[in-house]
C-alpha cells in the first residue's frame, strides 16, 4: 500500500525501450498489485492524458526525449500516488517541452497530490513551488515560499533606462548618491541598483525630474531566486544538463500542493 501511495520519477527516463508505452505502464501497474483490468484501464487513461494515446502502441525506442519524459512521469502516477517525487524532471528538455511538463505538474497538484521536486533550474522552482528548501552540501540552509526567500536578502532591484544615453553617467551618479549602493551598468542604456529604502523611490523620482532626465524605464522588482541562491551560498548555481551531481549546490523545491 505504501509503495502505491508514492510515485517516483528519476532524472533520466527508466522505462523499457523495447516495450510499447502501453506495455510499460501496464507492467508497472501489475507490479503495484493492480488487477490486469485495472492496470490496462489506468494505462489507457494516462496515455490519453499525456498525449501518448497513439504513441502508446509503439516501442519506446521510437519516442522523442520529451515523449519519454512524459511516459516516465505517467509511470510514476499509475498507482494514483498521494506523494510524487520528481528528480530533475526537465533536464534535457527544450523550453517548449519544459513548459508542457510544468503544466502537467500543475495538473497533478490540482488533483490533490503533493509534489516534491529537486531542480537546479531556479526559474522552475519559482514557477512551480509553494515552498522551497535550499540545500547546500547536504544541509538545508533556507526554507520558505519564493517571495519569503526573496525578501530574506532584503531590498529590491531598480532598473532605469534614460531616454538620452548621453546622460547615463549623470543618472548613475544620482542613483549612487541616493541609494548608497553600487550601480550596475547592465547595458549601454540601462542601469541597475539595489534599493533598501522605500523612500528612495520618491527621492529618485524627484531628483531625476529636477535634473531633466527622462526615463523610458523606471521599475522595481524583488531579487531573483538566482540572486537569493548566490546570497545564501556565495556561489552561482550550476544549471548544466549533467544534473545535481554536476555541482556542490542544489536547490530543492518541495510541496507544490496544498499538502506541503
Query: Tens digits of per-residue pLDDT, 115-143?
Result: 999 988 888 999 999 999 988 888 899 99
pLDDT of residue 162: 95
Lowest-confidence region among 18-27, 203-212, 242-251? 242-251
Burial-class residue 27 by CB neighbours within 10 Å (0-12, 13-18, 19+). middle
Higher pLDDT, 26 or 10: 26
Q: Which residues pair with 156 in a beta bridge?
A: 195
Angstrom distances, CA of residue 59 to CA of 19, 40, 55, 138: 5, 17, 8, 39
What's the mean pLDDT in 202-223? 93
Q: What are phi and psi of 67, to 5 degrees?
A: -65, -40
Counts of helices then strands in the chain (DSSP H, E): 10, 10
Q: Which residues pair with 251 in a beta bridge?
A: 119, 134
Asked whether the beta carbons of 214 and 164 are under 8 A apart, the reply is yes
pTM of the model: 0.69
What's the mean pLDDT in 177-192? 89
Say if residue 260's pLDDT is above 70: no
Q: Cα(254)–Cα(146) distance, rounded to whole angstroms?
A: 11
Question: Strand (E) positions, the chain?
Answer: 6-9, 83-87, 114-119, 131-136, 139-144, 156-162, 183-185, 191-195, 215-221, 249-254
Say if residue 247's pLDDT is above 70: no
Mean pLDDT of the chain: 85
Q: Which domains does the chain have, with CATH numbers?
A: 2-130 (3.40.50.300), 152-224 (3.30.70.980)
Say if residue 178's pLDDT is above 60: yes
Amino acid at each position: 500500500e505504501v509503495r502505491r501511495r508514492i510515485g517516483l520519477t528519476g532524472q533520466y527516463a527508466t522505462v523499457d525501450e523495447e516495450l510499447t508505452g502501453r506495455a510499460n505502464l501496464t507492467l508497472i501497474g501489475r507490479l503495484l498489485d493492480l488487477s490486469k483490468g485495472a492496470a490496462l484501464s489506468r494505462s489507457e487513461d494516462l496515455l490519453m492524458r499525456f498525449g501518448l494515446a497513439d504513441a502508446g502502441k509503439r516501442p519506446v525506442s521510437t519516442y522523442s526525449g520529451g515523449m519519454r519524459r512524459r511516459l516516465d512521469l505517467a509511470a510514476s502516477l499509475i498507482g494514483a500516488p498521494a506523494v510524487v517525487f520528481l528528480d530533475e524532471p526537465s533536464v534535457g528538455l527544450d523550453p517548449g517541452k519544459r513548459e508542457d511538463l510544468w503544466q502537467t505538474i500543475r495538473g497533478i497538484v490540482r488533483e490533490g497530490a503533493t509534489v516534491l521536486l529537486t531542480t537546479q533550474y531556479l526559474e522552475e522552482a519559482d514557477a512551480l513551488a509553494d515552498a522551497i528548501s535550499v540545500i547546500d552540501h547536504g544541509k538545508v540552509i533556507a526554507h520558505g515560499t519564493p517571495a519569503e526567500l526573496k525578501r530574506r536578502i532584503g531590498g529590491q532591484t531598480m532598473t532605469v533606462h534614460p531616454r538620452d544615453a548621453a546622460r547615463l553617467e549623470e543618472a548613475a551618479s544620482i542613483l549612487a548618491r541616493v541609494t548608497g549602493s553600487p550601480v550596475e551598468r547592465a547595458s549601454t542604456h540601462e542601469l541597475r541598483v539595489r534599493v533598501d529604502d522605500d523612500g528612495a523611490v520618491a527621492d529618485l523620482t524627484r531628483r531625476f525630474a529636477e535634473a531633466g532626465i527622462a526615463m523610458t524605464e523606471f521599475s522595481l522588482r524583488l531579487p531573483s531566486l538566482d540572486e537569493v541562491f548566490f546570497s545564501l551560498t556565495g556561489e552561482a548555481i550550476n544549471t548544466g544538463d549533467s544534473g545535481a551531481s554536476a555541482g556542490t549546490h542544489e536547490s530543492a523545491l518541495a510541496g507544490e500542493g496544498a499538502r506541503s
